[in-house]
Chains A and B, each alone.
Chain A
């Protein structure tokens, strides 16, 4: 059965309102927010950490941070999902570093080591996803190697060294691909007046 649809703009507005309520110490608002976004944040974290226990620890830390920093977000007026996913990814990267986790690529993990969380049968809130935009077009202009390196870093939380090991590519080449990819994105966005 199809869920009730909500546009990305409406979803963002809902998240802003909930963060505003969190900033006013409304604990029910955090629970509401958790219901809405925890499946996405958990998916992001578990791709980096792979171990369910570590991912659960990270998710707890993330929601404690969201509660504590909600007032700061309200003042900054950015996209709520970008802000929350960033908190989640940075926390996961910190824990991965603390635990000295090796390179990760979900496609190469054995099933029992991959993810043990329960896939969201509803497919999660589709409205959080960025609408097809300029950035998607700029990403499509990257070379396959550049795009693959960005995904291995952003989605799976790999360092330059990890990516070099995973792809069998010299470290210097990986660094160069990533640096060039970011520069190309920057130029593509700037040429379309989206560089702020």
Chain B
């Protein structure tokens, strides 16, 4: 039976959040929390206060396969990686590799500026929408519109860098067609240098009015090394 004494409930909530309430009392308390608002309220009180104890935790990046397993468990639409595509079509991949090797021998003799990292933004169907290339030390961003999604009235598609542990930073409006090269600001360069992913959101015409994403995230793409 649940105690009706507020102090006892509060003490149990504190021990539950701390983790020292164990075994069947913990299971019982979890059931109370799901059904009795005052128990949930006291738990949330302690969860927010004891968070202070976690202030010195040193963040650890989990291995990449963890996210892939989460996607699989939640039945998210599959985004095939290049390696997976190569595995599915080994003969075609061999021919492409041979062609690339031949081209490389030719290209190596020509002094050209190569991108340092790149990303492809694709629809869930796999159709490529935009291709991006970062040049130099994130000094310039090359954008190529492969096929822009149907434009919504009075809206634009905005590109964002997702720096680790910090707010998204706008990389500007994505072009509707053609190619363009954009010089990046210091803040954009810093953000790109610390990003492993890019995102695209739908925003009011001219871009987010707040400097932060305000519309839905439509696409997320990994930023990969071009070497």
Contacts and interface: CB of A to CB of B under 8 A. Distances in A.
A125 B166 contact: yes
Nearest to A92: B19
B73 A6 contact: no
B43 to A, nearest CB: 8
Please indicate which of the listed interface residues A38, A133, A179, A195 has the most CB atoms of chain B within 10 Å of its own CB: A38
Interface in A80-105: 81-83, 85-86, 89-90, 93, 97
B97 interface: no
A38 to B, nearest CB: 6
Given A6-B167, A126-B165, A43 B57 contact: yes
Given A3-B194, A28-B199, A36-B165, A124 B58 contact: yes
A153 B70 CA distance: 28
Interface residues of A, number: 85
Contacts of B193: 1
Interface residues of B, number: 61
B44 A76 contact: yes
Given A1-B190, A14-B212, A125-B164, A153 B18 contact: yes
B48 A78 contact: yes
Contact of B61 (A5, A30, A38, A63): A38
Interface stretch (B82-90, B125-133, B215-223): B215-223
Contacts of A29: 217
Contacts of A130: 51-52, 55
B31 interface: no
Interface string A93-128: 100010000000000000000010111101111110
Contacts of A179: 11
A82 B47 contact: yes
A151 B56 CA distance: 11
Interface string A24-67: 00111111101110111011101100001001100110011001
B41 A122 contact: no
A124 B18 contact: no
Contacts of A115: 60
B19 A32 contact: no
A44 to B, nearest CB: 6
Per CB-CB distance, the 7 closest pairs between chain A and chain B, nearest first, are A124-B59, A125-B165, A39-B59, A117-B60, A120-B59, A6-B167, A28-B217
Interface of B: 10-11, 14-15, 17-20, 22-23, 41, 44-45, 47-55, 57-63, 65-67, 69-71, 73-74, 76-77, 162-167, 169, 187, 190-191, 193-194, 196-197, 199, 212-213, 216-220
Given A6-B167, A196-B45, 11 more contacts: A3-B166, A28-B199, A28-B218, A42-B61, A52-B63, A125-B165, A133-B52, A150-B18, A151-B53, A182-B11, A185-B14
